[in-house]
């Protein structure tokens, strides 16, 4: 299991299966905002689980801001503005093709605030274990360059490894949020896969600079990576805009 996958709510338990299945339906729009879910007894029958498992599954979704309940009316889907979009499960339930390009742009802006500091700290403080974690993620990127889903996970884990190597506990904890965000946003931009070899080379430059303890080179290499991400987000936004124009 990858570092990104470990952030997800366990799906093996019956209530976890209920939560994941309904969560995907909500996020995909199959169950629309404001729509009421089937009654507890009906859900119990359709999932072949107890009513208790259904209740526990719905509690998971409520905690993530996806559903609310009204006395005697039942459980309904809350507006998207109520969803916890930083929750790893909510992110994982999105299809990469459904991710809003403006959300990706916001993420890149957030990365430009946080990651340069993390890279600087890693270049100054990373121990052997921290550098090894970055190197392992880079090798996975190299090995998975032909598989955009696997590559996206490896790419996210590379940046998570830098956070871990920073020596700052709070920055490391941010990887629990940013890891899943990075993986799904990178995959959403994956149609521009001809740029993956360039991406691997740019990430390798970050690794080399951190190993050398060269802060300025590490930050410059990171800036190249974020610049590529910005360009890809712009391409994605233009593609979506063109599709909307054609549909009209």
> What CATH number does the domain containing 12 carry?
1.10.10.10
**How many structural domains is the chain composed of?**
2
Give CA–CA dist 119/124, Å, rounded. Answer: 9
Residue 78, pLDDT score: 98
Segment 32-63, tens digit of pLDDT: 999 999 999 999 999 999 999 999 999 999 99
Give CA–CA dist 180/147, Å, rounded. Answer: 17
Q: Are residues 52 and 132 in the same domain?
A: no
Q: Are residues 224 and 141 in the same domain?
A: yes
Domain-located, residue 169? yes
Domain-located, residue 184? yes
Last residue within a domain, chosen from 24, 56, 81 = 81
Beta bridge partners of 74: 70
Nearest to 188, CA basis, from 98, 109, 108, 111: 98
pTM, full prediction: 0.76
Give CA–CA dist 130/210, Å, rounded. Answer: 10
Angle at Cα 201 formed by Cα 137 and Cα 203, nearest 5°? Answer: 45
- Of the two residues 171 and 241, the one the predictor is more confident about is 171
Q: Are residues 120 and 242 in the same domain?
A: yes
Residue-range definition of the domain harbouring residue 122: 95-247
Domain-located, residue 88? no
Q: Are residues 145 and 57 in the same domain?
A: no
189 contacts 226 by C-beta, under 8 angstroms: no
């Amino acid at each position: 299991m990858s570092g990104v996958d470990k952030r997800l709510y366990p799906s093996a338990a019956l209530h976890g299966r209920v939560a994941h299945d309904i969560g995907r339906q909500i996020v995909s729009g199959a169950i629309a905002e404001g729509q009421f879910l089937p009654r507890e007894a009906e859900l119990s029958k359709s999932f072949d689980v107890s009513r208790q498992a259904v209740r526990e599954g719905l509690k998971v979704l409520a905690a993530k801001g996806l559903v609310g309940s009204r006395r005697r009316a039942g459980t309904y889907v809350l507006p998207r503005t109520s969803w916890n979009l930083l929750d790893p499960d909510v992110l994982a339930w999105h299809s990469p093709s459904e991710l809003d390009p403006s959300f990706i742009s916001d993420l890149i802006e957030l990365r430009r605030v946080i990651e340069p500091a993390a890279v600087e700290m890693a270049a100054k403080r990373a121990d052997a274990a921290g550098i090894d974690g970055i190197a392992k993620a880079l090798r996975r990127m190299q090995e998975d360059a032909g598989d955009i889903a696997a590559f996206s996970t490896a790419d996210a884990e590379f940046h998570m490894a830098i956070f871990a190597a920073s020596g700052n506990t709070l920055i490391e904890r941010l990887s629990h949020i940013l890891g899943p965000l990075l993986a799904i946003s990178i995959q959403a931009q994956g149609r521009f896969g001809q740029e993956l070899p360039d991406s691997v080379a740019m990430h390798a430059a970050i690794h080399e600079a951190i190993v050398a303890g060269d802060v300025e080179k590490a930050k410059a290499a990171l800036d190249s990576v974020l610049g590529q991400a910005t360009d890809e987000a712009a391409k994605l936004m233009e593609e979506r805009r063109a599709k909307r124009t054609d549909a009209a």
